[in-house]
Structure 1
Amino acid sequence: MTRPRPLVPRGDPADTVRVVGEFGVIARVLAQAGKARSAEVGPGDDAAVVRAPDKRIVATTDVLVEGRHFRRDWSSPEDIGHKAAAANLADVAAMGGVASALLVGVACPPDTQTAWLEGVAAGLAAECAPLGAAVVGGDLVAAASDSASVVISVTALGDLYGRPAVLRSGARHGDVVALAGRLGWAACGLAVLRRGFSSPVAAVAAHRRPAPPYAAGPAAADAGARAMCDVSDGLLADVSHIAEKSGVIIDLDRAALTEACLEPTGTLQQVAAALGADPLSWVLTGGEDHALVATFPPRVALPEGWTAIGTVRAVGKKKPAVLVSGEAAASVVKSVGAEGAGHVHFG
Structure 2
Amino acid sequence: MKTSLAIPVEATTSSRLPKTDFSNLVFGKTISDHMFVADYKNGEWTDLRIEPYAPLVLSPANATLHYGQSIFEGLKAYKNDKGEVLVFRADANWSRMNESAERMCMPAIPEDIFMEGMIQLLELDKGWVPDAKGSSLYIRPFMFATDDYIGVKPSDTYKFIIFTCPVGNYYSKPVSVKVETQFTRATEGGTGAAKTAGNYAASLYPAQKAQKSGYDQLLWTDGKSHSKIEESGTMNVMFKINGTLITAPINSGTILKGITRNSVLQLAKDWGQPVEERFLTVSELETALKDGTLEEAFGTGTAATIAHIERINVNGTDYILPTKSSDAFSNKVLAELDGIKYGTIADPHDWIIKI
**Greater share of helix:** 1
User: Normalized per residue, which structure has more strand?
Assistant: 2
Scaled by the length of structure 1, what TM-score is found? 0.25
Q: How high is the TM-score relative to the length of structure 2?
A: 0.25
